[in-house]
Structure 1
């Protein structure tokens, strides 16, 4: 669960930036600007990162409303093992995925990510989890995310191979998982994939 003060600072920045977009009063704009500056400074302190990392943190899409970013992950299970890729950025393992690109559906996004990161063609079959990152034990993040997890059908029988952003790509049994990139997925996300891929109703875990 996310730290209370981190959650409050993120919410404060979101309210300030939404107010900046909608206000027509110059004095209110000054007040929102100051509130936003304070919130960014709080986030920089809490995240122990330079203030420049906080600038432009919140997207100005959705008509001016500050909204969460979206991270999409795909679970590809073959012969009782799950596909993981080793990220170049931290050397740890994760289900293929990343930021959702504008202009593509969630299914198109994850099918492309699996191809780019593991060299396999897949078809997104159903969503098995929709999580608010802040409500789960991921490492603290000054950004706010919704995480979408899909069960994907493997339509390519070839061996996985790494892409531009990955060092390795391989299948792993549930009892032999490598060290996971916890900013991307938790063990519980991987375990849920094995459970949700088993025969039965395609229910969705959500916050």
Structure 2
């Protein structure tokens, strides 16, 4: 059974999405100014609910609700599981929290999913890679990522292999880069990845015939 805080957060995310959808169709129509005001009020109520069950400040949560416009849809995050012939993962130490993660991030408009994963690896680690397969399409909340976010997020996980020599990585995004086996993992950035996901990536590396997984 879900915890009360999880139920409140899920409801708040849904309320915020409905308010965003309402604003999308109400703005620009003078006859719907009253509706637009109500949808803005719902957005504020959603922020209040999220703040009540989150450790993040309300103003941060409120700002996140404004990062998307138009009809509300889940955000898309791509992650690249790059594994070498010794069974080690390519991980990077995030500048934002000092913890370790697989290369990845938000897909940009105009990106093809695999193209986004390849770009993220190159920008964050300096390694050119090619995609082998899609391992999983997972929903962030279903995977227990912490802390929770006020928006819905779909993760696309790609198994990749190095395809060339390393070039200099972006100093703006990465503190360090390294190769780690499952038995020697550094402290992971739990908001981005967890051990279960790494284990699933390794399973697909060992047996590429496994079918793609999804929530």
Counterpart CA distance in 2 for 1:77 and 1:17 is 40
Is 2:181 the counterpart of 1:178? no
Distance in 1 of aligned mates of 2:92 and 2:109: 23
The aligned counterpart of 2:59 is 52
- The alpha carbon displacement at 1:10 in A equals 0.5
Structure 2 residue 81 is matched with structure 1 residue 75: yes
| 1:8 counterpart = 2:8 | no
TM-score (norm 2): 0.87
Contact 1:122-1:155 within 8 A present in 2 as well: yes
1:20 and 1:162 mapped to 2: Cα distance?
38
Matched, 1:114 2:121: yes
1:28 aligns with 2:31: no
1:152 to 160, 169, 175: 160
CA distance in 2, matches of 1:71, 1:129: 12
Q: Distance in 2 between matches of 1:77 and 1:200?
A: 13
Structure 2 unmatched runs, 5+: none
CA distance in 1, matches of 2:171, 2:116: 16
Contact (CA 8 Å) 1:160, 1:170: kept in 2 or not? no
Q: Which TM-score applies when normalising by structure 1? A: 0.90
| Counterpart Cα distance in 2 of 1:51 and 1:81 | 40
Residue 161 to residue 38, structure 1, CA distance change in 2 (3 Å): closer
**Which residue matches 2:97?**
90
Q: Which runs of 5+ in 1 are unaligned?
A: none
The residue aligned with 1:190 is: 198
CA distance in 2, matches of 1:56, 1:174: 33
Give the secondary-structure state (helix, strand or coil) at the position aligned to 1:167: strand
Q: Secondary structure at the match of 2:179?
A: strand
Q: CA RMSD in A?
A: 2.1
How many corresponding residue pairs? 204
